[in-house]
Amino acid sequence: MSPVTRVFGAVIATLLAAQSQAQTLRPDQTQFRALYKELVETNTTLSAGSCTLAAQRMAAHLKAAGFKDSELNVFSIPTNPKEGGLVAVLPGSDPKAGAILLLAHLDVVEANRADWTRDPFVLVEENGWFYARGASDDKAQAAIFTDTMARLKAGKPPRRTLKLALTCGEETGGAFNGAEWLVKNHKDWIAADFALNEGSVGIRNKEGKHVSLGMQAGEKVYQDFRIEATNPGGHSSRPRPDNAIYELAAALVRIGQYEFPVQFSDTTRAYFTETAKLTGGETGAAMTALLANPNDAAANAIVSKDPTFHSMLRTTCVATELDGGHAKNALPQRAGANINCRMFPGDSIENVRAQLVKAAADAAMKVSVSGEISPTPPPPPLTPLVYGTAKTVAAKHFPGVPLLPAMSTGATDGRFLNAGGIPTYGVPGRFSDPDGNGVHGLNERKSVAGLYAERDYLYDLIIAYAAAP
């Protein structure tokens, strides 16, 4: 067989496979795929993209589905014209019933084309996976929520009003954050009994089996602190024991060795209770022991071997940036570091700062709050309406897979809504491989079958919530 024939044959096989795959999609899935592709391929990085453009495109889809101009609000502010968002409203049939808010962020983490196997801003379907920046985080959910609003517009109005908020700024600290802005400036636009958001993933083992599905209720709070040593300095030819860099380094080593105490919320207590049953063995027994006695050092050591479990049990802090000195031939007058903390829900900023001071064990070391002060709301309650309904729907879509309450160890925009009095829950219905599927990293991917399954699950879940008394 000639090289040309082989190439031609390969092309034909690829086209036939693609055609066969396309034929397996329902018409509604084909329409959704086009919406998803458009959103993913709209660059929404802070450096070169536009969330406002993405919001406008999603608004256009909703308008084509029958939404009135009065039900669509594409917003931005003059100082950040490309970091806008969308609020859409689908009026319910019962004006006395509380609304439900669907929240997703449009912005994505930066991606360097040279580092990726494929163009990060072109949706590629390959071997059962979608590849692109934002294919999972968070444009899958944003596309599903937009698509759900359009599908529901075509039918009988739900009992509860549904609101959609697509916002910008979730991925970049210090940038304009649309969710925070809405809570502070136009809370009436998004007022709801509760909100559905990202923040939780199901677990899929290395064999591809679904182990558990997560439902986030509460998240750790992001907060930066600065630790700094100061010194009069002097000439480098006359070194002294009191060197700011050495003192800082010693304090950082001590902080790195410090363990914050074990804590439980209603969410994490329920999570570890169920996970102990699923895990079994030494680790499962240690979880049970730690639930009974959070001060059990032996049980803590066993459970905390897993980095995820370790982070879910406590506040964690880690040094992330260093600076110091002013000249190569001078003793440092100043040396400092950023300490990034993920605080357990309900933990206070002052309490965490005091523990960092204790861990540093150097009275001359200054520890202060750095950057924006994050809200520290308590976790939302796992009510029968929210949790019970999700369990019922999950059992239909993922039979035999337990739905576990979970606390996110990262931060989402849910922290602003929770602090603003809108209980917010992470219900993506997606599963992650042990490697995290490249989210925030190279070659981010999303299971093709998983995306359509997630779409069907969230559609039924939203319908169930919207019909609830």
For residue range 347-374, what is the model confidence (pLDDT) as tens digits?
999 999 999 999 999 999 999 999 888 8
* Per-residue model confidence (pLDDT) at position 61: 98
Span 293-319, average pLDDT:
96
Return d(Cα 347, Cα 390) in angstroms, integer: 28
Domain shared by 60 and 185, yes or no: yes
Does residue 165 have a pLDDT over 60? yes
H helix intervals, 235-379: 244-257, 266-279, 281-292, 297-303, 307-312, 349-360
Q: How far apart are CA 223 and CA 347, in angstroms?
A: 11
315 and 430 share one domain: no
Positive or negative torsion for Cα 147, 216, 348, 245: negative
Flag whether 398 is in a domain: no
CB 107 within 8 A of CB 50: no
206 within a domain of the structure (yes/no): no
Question: Which of helix, strand or coil describes residue 408?
Answer: strand
pLDDT of amino acid 433: 85
- Domain assignment of residue 204, yes or no: no
Mean pLDDT, to the nearest integer, of 77-96? 97
Specify whether 175 is located in the same domain as 92. yes
Are 231 and 187 in a shared domain? no
CA distance 248 to 230: 9
160 and 255 inside one domain: no
The count of domains in the chain is 2
Check residue 174 and give its pLDDT: 80
CA atoms within 13 A on the CB side of 344: 20
Same domain, 178 and 256: no
Rg (CA), the chain: 25
343 domain-assigned: yes
Among 370, 402, 434, identify where a domain stops.
370
Q: Does residue 208 or residue 460 have the better pLDDT? A: 460
Average pLDDT over residues 45-69: 98
Least confident of 40-49, 168-177, 281-290: 168-177
Residue 5, pLDDT above cutoff 90: no
Find the DSSP H helices in 361-447. 389-397, 414-419
Range of the domain at 156: 3-199+412-467
Q: Indicate if 72 and 171 belong to the same structural domain.
A: yes
Q: Enumerate the H helices of 120-265 as residue ranges.
A: 139-153, 178-185, 187-190, 244-257
Q: Is the residue at 459 inside a domain? A: yes
Which CATH number goes with the domain that contains 252?
Answer: 3.30.70.360
- Which of 342, 370, 398 marks a domain boundary? 370
- H or E stretch covering 214: strand 210-219
Tokens of 372: 């924006």
In a domain, 92, yes or no: yes
Confirm whether 348 is domain-assigned: yes
Contact indicator for 74, 182 with CB cutoff of 8 Å: no
Query: How many whole angstroms separate alpha carbon 223 and alpha carbon 320?
Result: 12
Give the residue-averaged pLDDT of 107-116. Answer: 96
With 0.95 as the threshold, say if the pTM is over it: no
What is the reported pLDDT for 23?
52
The region, left, alpha or beta by phi > 0 then psi within -120 to 50, assigned to residue 322 is beta
In a shared domain, residues 12 and 82: yes
pLDDT in tens, 368-426: 999 888 888 888 999 999 999 999 999 999 999 999 999 998 889 999 999 999 999 99
Average pLDDT for the chain: 93
Q: Which residues contact 455 (CB under 8 A, 6 or more apart)?
A: 29, 32, 144, 147, 148
Label residue 346 by pLDDT band (50, 70, 90). Answer: confident
Residue 401 is assigned to a structural domain of this protein: no
**Structure-token match 């102990």, residue found:** 276
Whether residue 195 is found in the same domain as residue 225: no
